[in-house]
Amino acid sequence: MITFKKMKALHDWSISKKLSGQTIGFVPTMGALHAGHLELVERANKENDIVVCSIFVNPAQFNNQADLEKYPRNLTGDLQQLQDAGCDVTFTPDEQEIYPEKEQKVYDFGHLEKVMEGKYRPGHFNGVALVVDKLFRIVVPHRAYFGEKDFQQLQVIRALVRKEGHDVQIIGCPTVREPDGLALSSRNARLTEASRREAAKIYQALLMARDSWSDKSIDQIKQQVTAYINASPELEAEYFEVVQADTLLPAEQSATHNGSRVVGCIAVYAGDIRLIDNMTLNS
Ligand code: AMP
């Protein structure tokens, strides 16, 4: 496995591989890798000649300084896991390499960035877009792999690709879960024992919403989900929204009849750790 820290060296390497006819699959991450990340790497491995994975804790996407400082980091363990998973190239730049000067660029993703994560984490998606845009220019991959766990992020990335004209195929991959249903997340490592146990209720709440889809109104489902979460002393729901998959506009019950996908998206504080998850409700 080759490790690059400098963007020019990686870019030149990528271009030479593309010119020789090899396809590149790219998996951007913030490290503290778990089986969810490795699933993306495996999929990229199957579908491309070369897999590039970046590890960069992107300050621009944190709207909370304490969250950034406490974000788990484990570079040595990450590199070992990537090697074992068959990753060919890692990119582990420092902050100066990615942001040599203060970034001014402001994207407009319209409604996609105004709701849910965009509403509760102002500036978050601008920070995500800044780094992903840069990474795409450096790596110039054929395909890039993102988890559906960050459902709204996936839609913002698709919009970014359209807006900036990147020649890359975006591939959304299913959420990998713990045996009790909790979505794998780097942040899970920071849960207390009690909040880790209770956090499985996030998945239960989403299953409940899916089960209720055909016989309850969306308002009733929202009430049911938030009441269930908030009944736990360890959990507090920040939002639960029922949205149309592509637009993130509020879903209507009638969507069951025209075949479009409806997703329930949730953010929950488990103690002081903020977790997100989602599930398709109408399938
Ligand atoms: P992160 O390191 O949290 O920025 O995540 C890097 C990529 O891994 C993103 O595309 C995430 O959506 C994806 N990812 C994170 N957790 C999971 C999971 N449990 N299952 C599948 N993909 C995930």
Read off the pLDDT of residues 202-216 as tens digits, 9 standing for 90 and up. Answer: 999 999 999 999 999
Separation of CA 216 and ligand 1 centre (Å): 31
What is the reported pLDDT for 113? Answer: 97
CA distances from residue 96 to 43, 75, 100, 154, 165 in whole angstroms, order as listed = 31, 18, 5, 26, 26
The pLDDT confidence band at residue 256, using thresholds 50, 70 and 90, is low
Using alpha carbons, select from 1, 4, 173 the residue that is nearest to residue 82: 1
What is the reported pLDDT for 257? Answer: 56
Q: Probe ligand 1: pick from 33, 37, 153, max atoms within 8 Å of CB?
A: 37
Q: Probe ligand 1: pick from 73, 150, 177, 184, max atoms within 8 Å of CB?
A: 150
Q: Which atom of ligand 1 is nearest to the CA of 176?
A: 20
Element at 127 (helix H, strand E): helix 124-139
CA distances from residue 52 to 35, 49, 72, 128, 185 in whole angstroms, order as listed = 17, 10, 21, 18, 21
Residue 202 or residue 260, greater confidence: 202
CA gyration radius, the chain: 19
Catalytic site residue 257? Answer: no
Separation of CA 193 and ligand 1 centre (Å): 22
pTM: 0.97
> Ligand 1: residues whose CB is within 6 Å?
29-30, 36-37, 39-40, 146-147, 149-150, 173, 175-176, 183-186
Separation of CA 210 and ligand 1 centre (Å): 22
Q: Is the pLDDT reported for residue 73 higher than 90?
A: yes
What is the reported pLDDT for 253? Answer: 75
In sequence order, what DSSP letters do the residues of 178-228 get, joined into one string? -TTSPBP-GGGGG--HHHHHHHHHHHHHHHHHHHHTTTS-HHHHHHHHHHH
Using alpha carbons, select from 199, 151, 206, 209 the residue that is nearest to residue 179: 199
What is the reported pLDDT for 254? Answer: 72
Q: Which residue has the tokens 């942040």?
A: 187
Read off the pLDDT of residues 155-193 as tens digits, 9 standing for 90 and up. Answer: 999 999 999 999 999 999 999 999 999 999 999 999 999
From the candidates 37, 124, 142, 166, give the one annotated as an active-site residue.
37
Sort residue 122 into left (φ over 0), alpha (ψ -120 to 50) or beta. Answer: beta
The pLDDT confidence band at residue 263, using thresholds 50, 70 and 90, is very high
Mean pLDDT of 87-103: 97
